[in-house]
Amino acid sequence: MSRAIIEVEAISKRYKLGQFDARTLREELEHFFQRLRRNGRAPGPSTGREEFWALKDLSFSVEAGEVVGIIGRNGAGKSTLLKILSRITEPTQGQIRIRGRVASLLEVGTGFHPDLTGRDNIYLNGTFLGMTKAEVKAKFDEIVAFAETEPFLDTPVKRYSSGMQVRLAFAVAAHLQPDILIVDEVLAVGDVFFQEKCIGKMSEVSRSGGRTVLFVSHDMGAIQSLCGSAIVLEKGYKTFEGSAEAAVRFYLRKSNCRAETLVLDDCVRTGTGQARVLSVVLEDEAGTPKTHFRMGEPLNIVLRTHFATVVQNPIFGVNIVTEAGLLVADCRSSHYGVNIGTTVGTVEYRVRIESLSLYPRTYVVEPWVTDASCLSTLDWVRGAATFRVTSGPNFLAGANVNAKHGISFIPTSWTFGQAFPVRCSRGDD
């Protein structure tokens, strides 16, 4: 019988409001004297006794080689849990058992000495993991190549951008062979290409290296693509534990982070005002609201629009654009000969994209309505909703596709005729 590499038993974490940031003794003394200089007198004792439970009665276990996602809204307790597992803070109640070396990537700059160079920090982190200098040296070139920071190796880390720090920190954590890799939402600091690269590396270290990964992300597509199972946290409590896909469905249905975007007054609009788009919902094949889809999956866009006056045969449209504003697709009812007739009041309609022929990146949905001639815009909403396309593990025969390959792909088939051998002559023939 296998033994869990991580065991969490009924842990709770309590903070006193106003005391969330733990300080060292030196920091506490500096803070005291700063207040003394500012106020002219010693600060009195705090009278606040209100408590906040960041985690409450949380239990779960993780087997070696598992990749587990931790999802939940901001303030759900995700980061607190990872800090406890990383031994940065202790639980107020309960206990944890961890078998093996842990490497954590929780915040920008975590584990780095700002005055040391990138080169020195690589060796320093290896020491923290109990590795010898020779062991770190054997992995050094791989780390540098992955992080793409070779020109800055002998520069102090404090001069790195946040993106560079994250790249180097992840490369160090992933390549120095910890038994457990813990990664928080910090990867969002990096660019989309590096995020895809990191997700691929985490999958590799779990699949081929047998290492355990705990991954916190608001990217539901990444959770489903990378993780076998996931835990949903809400206000410090575990509300769901199961397969990654089931956890994502539960989270989207139960939380307020649904894929519905109410089009509010502060959205940028143009048009006569005769019509007004009220809401946009992005759904998958099963009708579940989502913000993340895999390449090749269907996408349903459900919209509600109110007509303040009678309009004869309006044309409905949805534009899909990149975050930079580049038009990717112009979907309109008139392309399909749809004649809706006399329209007044609120209309609900659905636009179905059979297969998302889009490469991984974030896209923006912009709904619009015009008159029958398409010359008068009744309403056009900029940035009404966004969604993210991910590559998915089984698409295009497992090809490593990403935004570098363009915006959209065209399904093709490849046929080759008879191959004729080519004889390469040598110079002395």
Which DSSP string corresponds to 294-349? Answer: ETT--EEEEEEEEEEEEEES-EEEEEEEETT--EEEEEEGGGGT----EEEEEEEE
Backbone angles phi, psi at 242, to 5 degrees: 175, -155
Residue 208, number of CB atoms within 10 A of its CB: 8
Looking at the chain, the whole-number percentage of residues with pLDDT higher than 70 is: 77
* DSSP 8-state assignment for residue 156: B
For residue 319, which of 349, 354, 363, 278 has the smallest C-alpha distance? 363
- pLDDT for 411: 67
Q: Identify whether the C-beta of residue 5 lies closer than 8 Å to the C-beta of residue 212.
A: yes
SS3 120: helix
Kindly tell me if the per-residue pLDDT of 214 is higher than 90. yes
Kindly tell me if the per-residue pLDDT of 45 is higher than 50. no
Sorted by where each begins, the domain ranges of the chain are 260-392+399-405
Distance CA 115, CA 270 (A): 52
SS3 251: helix
- pLDDT for 3: 75
Kindly tell me if the per-residue pLDDT of 397 is higher than 70. no
Average pLDDT over residues 389-395: 63
Kindly tell me if the per-residue pLDDT of 428 is higher than 50. no
Kindly tell me if the per-residue pLDDT of 150 is higher than 60. yes
At the fourth CATH level, the homologous superfamily of domain 260-392+399-405 is: abc- transporter (atp binding component) like domain (2.70.50.60)
Average pLDDT over residues 396-408: 57
Split at pLDDT 50, 70, 90, the class of 290 is: confident
Which two three-digit tokens encode residue 98?
A: 């961890």
Distance CA 273, CA 417 (A): 59
Class of residue 107 by CB neighbours under 10 A (exposed 0-12, middle 13-18, buried 19+): middle
Q: From residue 400, how far is each of 15, 17, 69, 397 by CA, in Å?
A: 44, 46, 22, 9
- pLDDT for 176: 79
Q: From residue 26, how far is each of 88, 209, 396, 397 by CA, in Å?
A: 18, 41, 56, 57
Distance CA 206, CA 202 (A): 6
Which two three-digit tokens encode residue 378?
A: 């009744």
Mean per-residue pLDDT over the chain, rounded:
80
Average pLDDT over residues 26-51: 54
Helix (H) or strand (E) holding 308: strand 299-312
- pLDDT for 189: 56
Kindly tell me if the per-residue pLDDT of 391 is higher than 80. no
Kindly tell me if the per-residue pLDDT of 109 is higher than 90. no
Distance CA 348, CA 304 (A): 4
Residue 243, number of CB atoms within 10 A of its CB: 13
Determine the residue type at 173: A
pTM: 0.58
For residue 54, which of 75, 36, 74 has the smallest C-alpha distance? 75
Looking at the chain, the whole-number percentage of residues with pLDDT higher than 90 is: 31
